[in-house]
């Protein structure tokens, strides 16, 4: 199926919704040339994020990926995601969502990926995810969830991989190494004494001279 054919299959409502999203600074594109499902991302922060950015989403029947990373999304605004049951991938990292907003997501039963990194989510918010039987990847770095909350969710969704990040694991205090005892300084090795110059032995000529002199004295 060509892109022209895909576009011709879009309803007037869908075309208007896509146009509105792009007008508000969002990116809306098909997953691939032969895959008409939609990926929508709001990545710019030039203007204040509002409900207006989310309202057009309800008219996109093929919306599977939604990226709201670092936008000022609130709990109240998440009501506009409530009926987006086609979603398989949702980015909400570094948004303002809390446990209250998670209630609006519990109907997203086809969700496979959810990123809540850097939000105020606690164990109470995780309870709303227990019905997501297709969820495979959940990111919870820098949230307020506890080991108990994660264990409960894993019991309900044993297939999900939960990534909490190393920043939540308190480093164990390692015992401080005892100060090393200073070893007594070894005396400097004595410098080898300089060898005294031995008197030069007279060579053959000098020896004969000496003998002559001694002979003359006798």
Do the beta carbons of residue 119 and residue 90 sit within 8 Å? no
pLDDT score for 171: 44
Rounded-to-5 percentages of helix, strand, coil across the chain: 35, 15, 50
Choice between 173 and 90, residue whose per-residue pLDDT is larger: 90
Three-state secondary-structure class, residue 27: strand
pLDDT digits 0-9 by tens, 97-109? 999 999 999 999 9
Pick from 10-14, 159-163, 201-205: least confident: 201-205
- pLDDT of 49 strictly over 80: yes
pTM for this model (two decimals):
0.73
pLDDT score for 5: 46
pLDDT score for 191: 55
Alpha-carbon distance of 93 to 116, in angstroms, equals 5
pLDDT score for 9: 84
Domains of the chain: 3-168 (3.80.10.10)
Pick from 43-57, 68-82, 182-196: least confident: 182-196
Per-residue pLDDT band for 187 (boundaries 50, 70, 90) equals low
- pLDDT of 207 strictly over 90: no
Rg value, the chain, Cα: 41
- Mean pLDDT rounded to a whole number for the chain: 84
pLDDT digits 0-9 by tens, 64-99? 999 999 999 999 999 999 999 999 999 999 999 999
Element housing 100 (H / E): helix 99-102
Pick from 118-127, 144-153, 188-197: least confident: 188-197
């Amino acid at each position: 199926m060509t892109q022209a054919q895909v576009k011709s299959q879009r309803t007037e409502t869908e075309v208007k919704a896509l146009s509105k999203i792009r007008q508000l600074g969002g990116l809306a594109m098909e997953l691939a040339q032969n895959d008409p499902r939609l990926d929508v991302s709001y990545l710019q922060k030039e203007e204040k994020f509002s409900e207006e950015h989310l309202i057009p989403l309800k008219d996109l029947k093929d919306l599977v990926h939604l990226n709201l990373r670092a936008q000022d999304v609130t709990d109240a605004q998440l009501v506009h995601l409530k009926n987006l049951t086609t979603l398989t991938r949702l980015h909400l990292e570094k948004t303002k969502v809390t446990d209250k907003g998670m209630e609006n997501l519990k109907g997203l039963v086809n969700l496979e990926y959810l990123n809540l990194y850097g939000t105020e989510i606690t164990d109470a918010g995780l309870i709303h995810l227990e019905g997501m039987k297709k969820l495979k990847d959940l990111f919870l770095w820098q949230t307020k969830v506890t080991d108990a909350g994660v264990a409960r969710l894993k019991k309900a969704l044993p297939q999900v991989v939960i990534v909490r990040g190393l920043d939540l694991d308190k480093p164990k205090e390692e015992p401080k190494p005892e100060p090393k005892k200073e070893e007594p300084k070894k005396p400097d090795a004595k410098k080898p004494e300089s060898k005294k110059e031995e008197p030069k032995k007279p060579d053959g000529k000098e020896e004969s001279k000496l003998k002559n002199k001694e002979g003359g004295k006798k």
